[in-house]
A and B are shown apart, each in its own frame.
Chain A
Amino acid sequence: MDPFDLVGAEPGPARTVLFDGRPVPALPGQTLAAALWADGVLAWRTTRGGGRPRGAFCGIGQCFDCLATVNGRPNQRLCLLPAEHGDTVTTQEGHGHADLEV
């Protein structure tokens, strides 16, 4: 049993996104975070202070742990972004929250 069997899912053909230059398949309707999880990737950011790896934690846009650079734009929450064909995701090192105002 896998999640697709459980809900009888028949997704359309996978699209390809690039993670640090490497092609990763993403099904239509999946978020970038989910596509990376499905590929066994759990981290796509290193922290500002300790340089430690981070990925998705809350899964719903609240924790801001899943930030990465997408198509050149830093600090994107991968758990919210639907994967589009040709998206490039780059591991984000340190911060870059210049365009976020809290």
Chain B
Amino acid sequence: MPTSKSEPTGPAGGRAGPCYDLAVIGAGPAGLAAADTAARFGLRVALVDAGSRLGGQYYRHPAPELGAARPGRLHHGWAVFTRLRARLAASPLVDHLAGHHVWAAEAGGPGDGGRPWRLHATHGPGAADRTTVRARAVLLATGAHERHLPFPGWTLPGVVSAGGAQAVLKSSLVLPGRRIVVAGSGPLLLAVASSLVSAGAEVPAVVEAASYLGYARGLPVLAGNPAKLAEGAAHGAGLLRRGVRLRRGSAVVEAHGTDRVTAVTVARLDSRWRPVPGSGRRIACDALAIGHGLVPQIELAVELGAGTVTGPDGAVALEVDAEQRTSVPGLWAAGETCGVGGADLALAEGVLAAHAVAGRPAPAREAATRRRRRAFAALMAAAHAPGPDWTGWVTDDTEVCRCEEVPAREVRAAVEELGAGDARTVKLLTRAGMGWCQGRMCGPAVARLSGGGAGRPDSRPLSCPVPLAQLAEPRPD
């Protein structure tokens, strides 16, 4: 598998590169499994990822220069990854386009004779640092990003996203602090707390907003997913052994400090996630890792008009059939883009998608895994869905949009005084969600404060900021 930081396909310079049978966007569990399976069926595959190394979020690992003898200590199922990586490296059919961020996809024409798909990618700041990848079919395996609910003090240095703390630990072997509170909602919190503790951090508390009662309603689903339960139990037991307290039905309602976080206030929540007055307790810390679940990253498909579904937690995912086909002909999706459900599910869906692209019948084992894990994912999403009254901890001064520094007061004024009825209007009136991150950090919060749910998926015509020179350049072929 040739790996390239520049472009093996060459079209930026005007040369037409190869037309692949399949272009996979995203080299996490879903994309890796799909590329591997497709190559085994003889398809020529481009595996395109914005990151420099294979693995995506789950298999994120230290740079080789850090000389880690046991990189798998921060993962379950590390051997699955090393097997996939070795097979892909040995395959002459797979090109890995590392460091290539796809910012737009142009749909191909129908049928074998039709115009191929074109993926536009940037791989650097210069005018020439762009590539167009051509392919007969595209698999969107771009994963998810974290959902954040703002609270007073969440923009202080030392307040970091839970997945981010995990990512920096896994890739650079560094912690954001020594005494780290982990808070928010969702199963990722337990995984993050486990990693932080095993890497030597003190975690005074894991603060989970959900009560976990939601899980009790899904006993048959739980019984069908023993491996998932074992994983959760292993994290839980490991944390307990190290004296880490899990506080359920609670939230960090304020981070304190002037130039960096020095403490947080944790309050109990009622069933609608409204903080219980007088229940606040202060916990000293030098970092806070925060996250409220994950949201599928699907803008490339949304711009193409692909059909979506809204999950029990309000997160919008791509709608796919049993073989991972989206509603756009020639576009497949696998993993978290179809709804957040973890690495095993992503692996299975990648395999299923590759079978379908190659015209092979769906393998029974992966189909069964998918059924079980999708049911579990729905249960999880419902159990951790943000309660409707979390906005009770958002004071008027709380910054909602980190990029544009828009306080809740302005969002509320747009709704109450100017009559804005939806997130789009609020955005236009306040600039909340119009900054560099394109609303990834504040989108769900702005939607809720505007009185609605997540509603429509966000539109992002360009999936990432693209240097002007690359946009201005006439398109080759």
Q: A56-B168, A101-B471 are in contact. Are A64 and B69 (CB under 8 A)?
A: no
- Closest Cβ neighbor of B57 among chain A residues: A60
Comparing B358-366, B384-392, B434-442, the segment that makes contact with chain A is: B434-442
Count B interface residues, CB 8 Å.
57
Q: Bound state CA distance, A29 and B67, in angstroms?
A: 9
Q: Is the contact region of chain B dominated by helix, strand, or loop, or is it mixed?
A: loop
Supposing A50-B405, A64-B403, A99-B125 touch, asked if A7 and B160 sit within 8 A by C-beta, the answer is no
Q: Which residue of chain B lies nearest to A98 when distances are taken between CB atoms in the complex?
A: B468
Count residues of chain A with CB under 8 A from any CB of chain B.
51
**Minimal beta-carbon separation of B329 from chain A (angstroms):** 30
- A9 touching B69, Cβ below 8 Å: yes
Q: Is A21 an interface position by the 8 A CB rule?
A: no
Closest A residue to B158 by beta carbon equals A42
B residues less than 8 Å from A61 (CB atoms): 50
Chain B residues whose CB sits within 8 angstroms of the CB of A38 once the complex forms: 172, 174
Say whether B146 faces chain A, with CB atoms less than 8 Å apart: yes
Contact with B along A52-83 (1 / 0, CB 8 A): 11111111111111010000010000010010
Q: Which residues of chain B have C-beta atoms less than 8 A from A101's C-beta?
A: 462, 465-468, 471
**Min CB–CB distance A65 → chain B (angstroms):** 6
Chain B positions 193-218 with a Cβ under 8 Å from a chain A Cβ: 198-200
Task: Give Cα A29 to B170, complex, Å.
Answer: 12
Do A43 and B468 contact each other (CB < 8 Å), given the known contacts A29-B62, A29-B66, A30-B172? no
In the bound assembly, the distance between CA atoms of A88 and B163 in angstroms comes to 28
Contacts of A49 in B (CB 8 A): 404-405
- Contact between B161 and A58, CB atoms less than 8 A apart: yes
B372 within 8 A of A: no
Q: Does B112 contact A (CB under 8 A)?
A: no
Further contacts, 16 of them, CB under 8 A, given A4-B173, A100-B465? A3-B199, A9-B66, A10-B67, A11-B66, A11-B67, A12-B65, A29-B62, A29-B64, A31-B172, A33-B168, A49-B405, A54-B155, A56-B176, A60-B57, A63-B441, A101-B466
